[in-house]
Structures are given as structure tokens and as C-alpha cells.
Amino acid sequence: MAYQKIVKTIPVEKREKLSDKLLNFILKSKKESKMPGDLANTLLSQWQLGALTTEAGLATLLEAAVLLESEKTVELLEQELQLVDVAKAVKEME
């Protein structure tokens, strides 16, 4: 729920790129055991439905990326996407 609130603050034009980058972090992560089963199932269902760029889908991706690759995710938000407030909110979630 908290991640859904954060996602609402992300400009629409940056969502597709964010979704793509977060997916890369998640799929390439070696820390896959950190992924909770229910979050993985949510991710797969949303992917099946083509919903990973929706607010709900982005919230799932963001939560998973923070769990698996926290530093990379914050760096992406702060530097590449210039989403400083989002990065700050994510850090507070940790």
C-alpha cells in the first residue's frame, strides 16, 4: 500500500522506463532468495496481465527492487531518473 502511494508521485512519462529498469535489477539479481513468495506471485500475475507499468504493477516492482537491490534502486531514482523525492520516500521505507 505504501509503495502504491509513492508510485502515484512518479510522472507518467517516466513510468515505462522505470518499469524496464526495475525489471532488469530484479531479474539479474543474485539475491533472489530475498523475494517473498507472495510478492513473486503478484509480480507474475501482473506480468501475465500486462500490468507492470500500471501503478499497482510499478508498486510491486519497486517493492521487489528495494528488497533485492536497494542501493541500485535508490541510485536509479536519484541520479538517472531525477526522482529525488521518490528516492527519499523509498529510503524511509527501508
Cα–chain center distance at 19: 7
Q: What's the DSSP call for residue 74? A: H
Nearer to another protein among residue 4 and residue 24 (C-beta): 24
Q: How far is the CB of 34 from another protein (least distance, A)?
A: 10
Among 13, 33, 71, 92, binds another protein (CB under 8 A): 33
The verdict on 47 binding another protein (CB under 8 A) reads yes
Q: Which of 43, 76, 77, 86 binds another protein (CB under 8 A)?
A: 43
Q: Give residue for cell 496481465.
A: 49
Query: How far is residue 79's CA from residue 30's CA, in Å, rounded to a whole number?
Result: 23
Q: At its nearest, how many Å lie between another protein and the CB of residue 43?
A: 7
C-beta contacts of 37-41 below 8 A and 24+ residues apart: 39/63, 39/64, 39/67, 40/64
Question: Which positions lie near another protein, rule CB under 8 A?
Answer: 23-24, 27-28, 32-33, 35, 40-41, 43-45, 47-48, 50
